[in-house]
Structure formats: structure tokens, C-alpha cells
Amino acid sequence: MAITLKNRKPIIILSILFAVCILIEIFVCNADYFRLKNDKKYQHKSYTLDQLEITNADVNTKRGTITYKREYGDSVFLHIKEIDTNIGSVFMDLKIPDNVLEYVVCYTDEANANFYRSFIREYVTGVERKKWFSCHLSGKSKQMIIRLDHLEDDYTFSLKEIQINRPVPFQFLVTRFVILFVIVAGIYIIGGTEFFLAREKNWRHNLILAAGTGIFFLISILLYNNSFGDVKLNLMYNCDFTDALINRQLNLDIEVSDSLKALENPYDTSVRRTEDVDYAWDTAYYKEKYYCYFGVVPALLFFVPYKLITGTYLQCNIVVIITYCIYMLFLDITLIKIVRRVMADIQFGIELIALVILNATINIFHFATEPSFYMMLYAVGLMFVAMGFCCLVFWYTGKQTNKLLLFFGAICLSLAVGCRPPLLLYTFLIIPFGIQIILKKRKKCIADVIVLFIPYIIIGSALAIYNYLRFDSILEFGVKYQLTAQDQVHGTSSLYEVPTLLWLSFFQPLHFTARFPYIISPDSANNYAGHFFIGTGLTSLAGQTPLLWVLFFPFLWKRWRTNFNIVSFGILLFSAGVGIIMLFMIMLNSGVEWRYTSEVAPLLCIVAILLTANIIREMSGETASFLIRCLFLITIYCFAASFLRAIAGPFGYTRTYHPEFYYALESACSFWK
């Protein structure tokens, strides 16, 4: 009875919120349905093809087709006259040869006697709601023009009819309702219920954390299946490089053109383009041979065995989604293990928030929507990093006599270097813990050091030999000799680049618009006269994850120093320093690109989470509830930014390859259209 009375208030509040969300879904998200349902001022009218005035096209009324002719003009105009009623919606029944047809609507109303105003809409095959568009005009309209721009010559589509004020269909979208309820209910329960404010965790808390990770898995797979995931590509890495390794040769079996051999500087991108030189893009060119400068480890572990077993080439996009999901799983386990080791008395709500923010920051949605082979090296490398540190954390916090965990962790971290050399910096995080163990165990730690170093020595020596046989240097992986967007042989970096690069990669805020997907890439234009690369779809770290700003709050560091010993403070500061050094090295060597920051994001994010959690865990009562709710709002933003930026994508794969999914999502979000 006591438990029932104790839980009655949360249940009542959640029930009220549930009912409110249902009402919002019914009456707000479907407002256009009710607006047109019984309002007599919206007179229903229908227009067939022969009732429209069509310009710059050949019209076949018998077949119901319209064919654009470029010789007639730049655009096709579908002119609807004598409307003489308020327009609440327009329904078009079209059959188009492709998936998406964008059009411009020009209209008149009582405030615009001529075609002064217009707006853009899309007709999408497979999305029923996109047959309609809603209007909120000023009084009655006399005319409307639907203008089709940028059509190819002889573009043909069929038109059955256009209806004015046909009722918009009612749609109760369960997914939209669930998202709304999770947000509003989450704001209440995460800072107002004992379950989320609990400092002692049980299996139910662990189940919620597992569900949080699982939701990220499901969303990532959904995005993957509705983006680039079904496109099969035979690329240099999964084909030419795989064949070269199977044939036991280091160079690629690609013929080098005489025009490339004749160049004085073959690495000059401008010369290759202006002189129309035939060359293999994104390969390393050295002594008149092509090589692959991307890490060899994924090829040896995945692509070569797959080709030998199946006889077919393994697609890079499959490797990306699988390994990045594994990476996120081990990263989440490592995060929770660290948090509970360092701050066992932390509120459970902060643990859940930390997990969601971290998963949003590492951009798993971006890797799922655009899983190109460039992403593959990052996904595999980061998977090994997370697996390695997961093993080391369990070894450090458990029985340190378990040499197998230590050995496997070292193998994973050393293999990560064979995917992406910058990941070697993660190994430096072992140093402060190693010093502690050496001081604690003294002579007994010799065995641990040997076990730790064996994989590094073996794998490091193999990579050094591999590099030397190709480029006459044990430290050169081939990046210097790449034939890509910039000359790495003669190009130089300068510290003067740092402010611009740091702004673009870390500090620059994202931009917001009123058009789906609402969050877009910021402007990367700058007037720096120098040599660095800026990728498309730029998303800065702090712009996507505002929590990272806490790294620059001295009082949080001071508070950590007060609550913990100097060793713990040094480890946290050292970790942040490694992340910043890694960011600087990546910027100066590669430039700025969304995927580049994925290697730095988890490290800096975990440090920011620990600093923030240390403050909130000391609070209690209303203060703790308020801060946790504020942190939850930041979490919603981080999740939304990660998801919507991935949907937009630098290359827009979701909209290009699966427009029915993209525009169905757009219709759900922009329900007022």
C-alpha cells in the first residue's frame, strides 16, 4: 500500500502528459485535417488536364501526359484559373518518371492581386502525404501557378487531376507521438523520480542503459537501410588492394599512365586537373607505382579472408555499420565502468544522459547514413580502441593478475594504429595508469609490462617493415604521396592556420533554418591565405555537443581537484591534453572534416561528462533535479543535431537514394506543410 501511495503522483503526472501528447498529436499535428473538414469557406474544386492552361510543354489530353520542350522556354507553367475560393490545400495526382519532382507554387489572394509571392514544394513517389500541400493564404484566391524548373528536355509526366481543398488525410503517427511523449515525460521523470535520482543501481538501471544503446543500434540500422547501405561499389580498397594482398604484392595492379609519369610534380592537384592527366584517385604514388595509403589491418582481417572464402568482394559500407556499432557498444560499457568506478554515488539519470550524449557525439548516425570506404578505416580503428580500453579498464578495476585481458587490450590498441596512425595517441592514455601500477607493484609489474609491450612490438615491427618495403621509411604509411585534393609532399602547415581550423572544427555554431532538416552546416568560408583542406558538411564538435564547453570552465577543474586526489586530477587533465593534441595534429596534417573529429570526440566528451557529473552528484533536492533536467535538454539537442545532420549529410545520400524515407520524415516533422 505504501508503494502505491508513493508512486501515485508520478503515475498521475505521466498519465496527464500521455493524454496531453495524444491531444497534441490529434489536434495540433493534424490541424489541417480539421481545418478543412467542415469549414464551408473552403470550397472543393477539381481541375483536369484540359481545364488547365499549360505553357512550354506538349500536352496530350488523351494520354494525360505533359512533355517539357526546352525550345519553348525555361520552365513549365501549370496555370489554374477561376478558383474564386479560399485555398486550404491543393491535391495533385501525378505520375512522374523519377522519385522526386520539385515545383514552385505562385499564387494570388486578397493581399496579392498579382503573382508576387511563391513557395517551394516536392512531389514524391511513394509518400502519400506529398500529394497534398497546405495553404494559409489571405482570403480568396483567383489564380495559382505551379511552375516546374530545371527539367530535362523531353521530360514527360502524367497528370490526372488537381483538386483544390480536398481534405488532408488524418495521420496519427505513433513514432511522432512516442518521441514527443519521451521528451516531455523525460523532462519530468529524469529529475523528479526516485528511479532516476537513485545513487545505488540495480539490474533495472542496467536494463535501461542497455535499452538506450539498443535504440541507437535500431536507429542506425534504419538510417543505414535508407541511405547508402544498399549501393554496391567496387573501389580501390576493397577490390584492387584486396587483390594485391592476395597476390602477395605491395603495389596496386593499376597501370600508370605516361602523362602522370611525365609530370615534374605528380602530386600537384591543379596540374593534374588542368592538364587532364590520367591517374588513380586517392592512391599513393611512389617510384612510378600505385600503393594504398589507407591502413592495411582492415584489409587483412576482413576483406582478404572474405574474398578467399566467398570469391566476392566485401563491401566497405557493411564493415562500417557493423564495426561502428561494435565500437559504440564497447565505448558505452567503458563509459559506465569508468563513471561507476570514479563516482559510484552518481545519480542514475546522469549515467543515462552521459550515455546518450556520448553516442550522439561520436556520430554513429552519420556513419550509418554515409558509410563510404573513407569511414571504414575510422570505424574499424575506433572499434579496436574501444575494445582495447574496455579490456584495460576491466583489468585495471578487477583482478590485475588477469594477463589475458591486458594482452588482448594491447593487441586491439596496436591494431588500431594499423587502421589510422593518429590512433596511436590513445596509447598514451595508458601512461598515467601504468605509472600508478609500477609504483604500486614495483618489481611485480615487469610481467605486466612485457605482456603489454609484446603486441606493440610484433604489430609495430610488422607495420614498420610494411612501410619500409613500400616507401623506404618505417614511419611513412603513404599519406605523404597521396594523389588527392592537396599536395602533401610540398604542402606546408603553419601555426597561423590553427585559429581558423580550431574555429571551424570545434567552436563554430551550427546554423538553424525553418526548413527541414532545420540544422545545417555552418559557413566554412574564410579569407586565410594558406594550405589546408575543408570538407563538406562541416559540423563542429562544440556546435553539435555544447557540453564540451565545460572543458574551458576552470572552476570545474578546481572542483575535481578538491574532490579527488592529485593523481586522478592529473589523469583527467592528461586525457584532455591528449585529445587536444590529437585534434591539433589532425587539423595540421589533414584539415577539417566531419569524420576527422570522430577520433577526438569520445575522449573529450568523456572528460566533459566526468567534470559535469562531479558537480551535479554533490547536489540534492530541487537543485539536483533542475540541473539534471537542464542536462537532459542539452541531451535532446545533441541527439537532434546528430540525427538531423546525418539525415542532411555532406552528400545527401538519404535524400538521393531513398527520397521516400527522407520526405516521409520531413512530412512528419513539418506537419503544417
Kind of pairing between the strands at 89-95 and 132-134: antiparallel
206 and 157 in a single domain? The answer is no
pTM: 0.92
**Per-residue pLDDT, 530:** 81
Residue 450 clears pLDDT 80, i.e. is over it: yes
- Has residue 14 been placed in a domain? no
Judge residue 400's burial from the number of C-beta atoms within 10 Å of its C-beta, 0-12 exposed, 13-18 middle, 19 or more buried: middle
Grouping H, G, I as helix, E, B as strand and the rest as coil, residue 124 is: strand
**Per-residue pLDDT, 373:** 85
Q: Which of 310, 332, 349 is the last residue of a domain?
A: 310
The mean per-residue pLDDT over the stretch 28-32 comes to: 93
Q: Which of 278, 310, 342 is the last residue of a domain?
A: 310
The mean per-residue pLDDT over the stretch 54-80 comes to: 92
Grouping H, G, I as helix, E, B as strand and the rest as coil, residue 389 is: helix
The mean per-residue pLDDT over the stretch 165-186 comes to: 94
**Per-residue pLDDT, 391:** 94
462 and 351 in a single domain? The answer is yes
Contact 364, 605 (CB under 8 A): no
Residue 2: pLDDT band with limits 50, 70, 90: very low
Q: How far apart are CA 156 and CA 395, in angstroms?
A: 66
| CATH code (residue 73) | 2.60.120.260
pLDDT winner (highest mean) among 219-233, 436-450, 577-591: 577-591
384 and 270 in a single domain? The answer is no
- Has residue 154 been placed in a domain? yes
Judge residue 84's burial from the number of C-beta atoms within 10 Å of its C-beta, 0-12 exposed, 13-18 middle, 19 or more buried: exposed
Who contacts 433 (Cβ-Cβ below 8 Å, separation ≥6)? 392, 396, 571
275 and 423 in a single domain? The answer is no
- Has residue 77 been placed in a domain? yes
Residue 231 clears pLDDT 80, i.e. is over it: no
Grouping H, G, I as helix, E, B as strand and the rest as coil, residue 108 is: strand
Q: How far apart are CA 45 and CA 31, in angstroms?
A: 21
Grouping H, G, I as helix, E, B as strand and the rest as coil, residue 90 is: strand
- Has residue 617 been placed in a domain? yes
Cα angle 342, 390, 415 (rounded to 5 degrees) comes to: 140
Residue 422 clears pLDDT 50, i.e. is over it: yes
- Has residue 609 been placed in a domain? yes
Residue with cell 508520478: 10
- Has residue 96 been placed in a domain? yes
**Per-residue pLDDT, 627:** 94
358 and 245 in a single domain? The answer is no
Residue 221: pLDDT band with limits 50, 70, 90: very high
Residue 273 clears pLDDT 60, i.e. is over it: yes
Residue 5 clears pLDDT 60, i.e. is over it: no
Residue 80 CA, chain-centre distance (Å), reads 43
109 and 249 in a single domain? The answer is no
The mean per-residue pLDDT over the stretch 388-405 comes to: 88
287 and 415 in a single domain? The answer is no
Cα angle 343, 347, 351 (rounded to 5 degrees) comes to: 75
Residue 1 clears pLDDT 60, i.e. is over it: no
Grouping H, G, I as helix, E, B as strand and the rest as coil, residue 33 is: helix
As a whole number, the mean pLDDT across the chain is 91
Contact 385, 416 (CB under 8 A): yes
**Angle between the N-to-C axes of helices 430-441 and 373-397, in degrees from 0 to 180, rounded to the nearest 10:** 20
Residue with cell 558537480: 615
Could you give the percent of the chain with pLDDT greater than 90? 73
Rounded to a whole number of angstroms, the CA Rg of the chain reads 29
Q: How far apart are CA 164 and CA 158, in angstroms?
A: 18
User: At 293, phi and psi to the nearest 5?
Assistant: -95, 0
Residue 590 clears pLDDT 90, i.e. is over it: no
282 and 320 in a single domain? The answer is no
Which parts of 283-369 fold into alpha helices (H)? 297-298, 304-310, 316-342, 348-361, 364-369
Can you spell out the DSSP letters for 442-494? GGGGHHHHHHHHHHHHHHHHHHHHHHHHHHS-TT--SGGGB-SSS-TTT----
603 and 656 in a single domain? The answer is yes
515 and 405 in a single domain? The answer is yes
Contact 425, 581 (CB under 8 A): yes
Q: Which of 310, 333, 360 is the last residue of a domain?
A: 310
Between 259-268, 488-497, 625-634, the lowest mean confidence (pLDDT) is in 488-497
**Per-residue pLDDT, 649:** 85
pLDDT in tens, 370-387: 898 889 999 999 999 999
Residue 258 grid cell: 605516361
Number of domains in the chain: 3
118 and 142 in a single domain? The answer is yes
- Has residue 546 been placed in a domain? yes
- Has residue 170 been placed in a domain? no
469 and 528 in a single domain? The answer is yes
pLDDT in tens, 288-340: 999 999 999 999 999 999 999 999 999 999 999 999 999 999 999 999 999 99
Instruction: Print the domain residue range for 248.
Output: 236-310
